[in-house]
């Protein structure tokens, strides 16, 4: 059975449901391997990862595919583009970058202050 999301992407991209379905299966496999979780145990986060992977495989994002999102947003073009672009980058501390053990963390702000003191 073809997923409703596959059908939606097929309509929006003009690609066949078979082609999109193949991408979807690959994306779910990548998500499963990435998180070490069987598809039967996928959470919302795992499906979101698979959806993002499919979009990357197709070279698109939902906002670009469906121009009606812009029209319905009632934002100026500049504000809409800023919203779409900023939404593409995660700024949450959900997965902070942690330096490897034994590496000294350098605070770049402190270095700037030291240079000003000289």
42-88 residue pLDDT tens: 998 999 888 888 888 887 765 555 677 777 778 788 877 777 666 55
What is the DSSP-derived secondary structure letter of residue 14? -
Q: Phi and psi at residue 56, in whole multiples of 5°?
A: -65, -40
With contact defined as beta carbons under 8 Å apart, do 30 and 56 qualify? no
With contact defined as beta carbons under 8 Å apart, do 20 and 6 qualify? yes
- Closest Cα to residue 54, out of 20, 90, 11? 20
Domain segments of the chain as ranges: 4-117
76 compared with 18, residue with greater pLDDT: 18
């Amino acid at each position: 059975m073809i997923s409703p999301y596959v059908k939606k992407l097929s309509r929006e991209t003009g690609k066949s449901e078979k082609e999109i379905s193949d991408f979807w299966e690959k994306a779910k496999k990548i998500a499963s391997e990435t998180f070490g979780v069987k598809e039967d145990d996928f959470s919302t986060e795992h499906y979101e990862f698979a959806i993002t992977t499919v979009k990357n495989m197709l070279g698109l994002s939902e906002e670009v595919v469906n121009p009606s999102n812009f029209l319905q947003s009632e934002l100026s073009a500049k504000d809409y583009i800023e919203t779409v672009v900023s939404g593409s980058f995660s700024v949450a501390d959900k997965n902070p970058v942690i330096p490897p053990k034994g590496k000294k963390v350098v605070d770049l702000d402190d270095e700037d202050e030291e240079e000003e003191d000289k």
